[in-house]
Structure 1
Amino acid sequence: MIETKWNRGDWVIYRKQKTSTSPGQRASNVHPATKGDLYHYTVDKFWIVDSVLDDGQIELCTRRGKKNTVDASDPMLRKANWWQRLIHRGRYQAIMSQ
């Protein structure tokens, strides 16, 4: 049996890659596209582990109740450390209050 480092209820941060014409305030690692008016950037998403699936995937719950499934070994996924949990606790509590 494979042990997982993910448990239901874990607070996680997923660094999502996005592309648009105008990155928002929370965008980081912003780079212009080679041609055109687009920008490539990342945004930190604050989600909670809803379930750990048998196939190596985890299901994450967003602030608006949406479910996202990602691979448990995805390098863009990490557990929130104590400092991030303290600073962003409002985002996580909004998910838990659904």
Structure 2
Amino acid sequence: MIRPGDVVVYTKTKHTTSPGPRAHDIEPESRGEYYTYVVDKYWIVESVDPDGIICRTRRGKCHRISPDDPRLRPANFWEKLFLRSRFPTSPQSS
């Protein structure tokens, strides 16, 4: 159960020429210079409704995610403890 105010991790797949430092599961394409990789995004839940979950990034962007999206999961204890600076502040403070 995800509720407003919860911190979540969204696993986003990217496709570029140079993976960043937080990229993992990096796979080069069979031809060319591109790579497909995964980056974990650290968001906070703004609201939950039947249409989806509204999540906010640290920079204030909002994303609507399907409630059954397998790439969205609650942050675990260690992520909350050691990566707390990557999560946005609570929605009440904005």
Same fold (TM over 0.5): yes
RMSD over aligned Cα, in angstroms? 1.2
Which of 18, 25, 29 aligns to 1:33? It is 29
Kindly provide the CA deviation profile for residues 31-73 of structure 1, in whole angstroms up to 9, marking residues without a partner as x: 0112211000000000001110222x10100000000111111
Count how many residue pairs are aligned between Structure 1 and Structure 2.
92
Q: Name the residue aligned to 1:20.
A: 16
Counterpart amino acid of residue 12 in structure 1: V
Counterpart amino acid of residue 18 in structure 1: K
Matched residues in 2 for 1:51 and 1:65: separation? 14
Q: Name the residue aligned to 2:85.
A: 90
TM-score with structure 1 setting the length: 0.87
Q: Name the residue aligned to 2:58.
A: 63
Q: Name the residue aligned to 1:46.
A: 42
- SS, match of residue 95 in structure 1: coil
Which blocks of at least 5 consecutive residues in structure 1 are unaligned? none
Q: CA deviation at 1:95?
A: 3.4
